[in-house]
Amino acid sequence: MQSLLPSTVRKTVPRLNRLLLVLAAYPSVRVVAVVEPDSLANLVTNLSDSNCQNAQAAYMTCTTYVLKTLTQCNIWLYLDAGHAGWLGWTSNLQR
């Protein structure tokens, strides 16, 4: 199975850019952006699955792009990076 990087980036970047155009039209409005809830923890605990392995580069590239482009004075970012419970399960101890 091939990496999902090219097709995922082609889909994600234009979507984000459209959102940024809307946000730019309202610079005095405060925005809270929730970025990828739970996906970071899934990335850590599920890399043994080939689907997750194939999505890793696309996930990292797109998440980095989102965080960099949403860094504006009127946008507050919330990055849900998971919690210790993700790694607390017996099946995840070796990860």
For every residue of 11-77, DSSP letters joined together read HHHHHHHHHHHHHHT-TTS-EEEEE-TTHHHHHHH-TTSHHHHHHHHHHHHHHHHHHHHT--TTEEE
Q: So what's the pLDDT on residue 62?
A: 83
Residue pair 37/82 in contact by the 8 Å Cβ criterion: no
- The two tokens of residue 28 are 């005095």
Mean pLDDT, residues 32-54 taken together: 78
The strand pair at 75-79 and 31-35 is best described as: parallel
Q: 80 catalytic, yes or no? A: no
Mean pLDDT, residues 28-41 taken together: 82
Which one is catalytic: 15, 24, 27, 38? 38
Q: So what's the pLDDT on residue 30?
A: 94
pTM for the complete prediction?
0.71
What residue segments make up the domains of the chain, in order of their start?
5-80
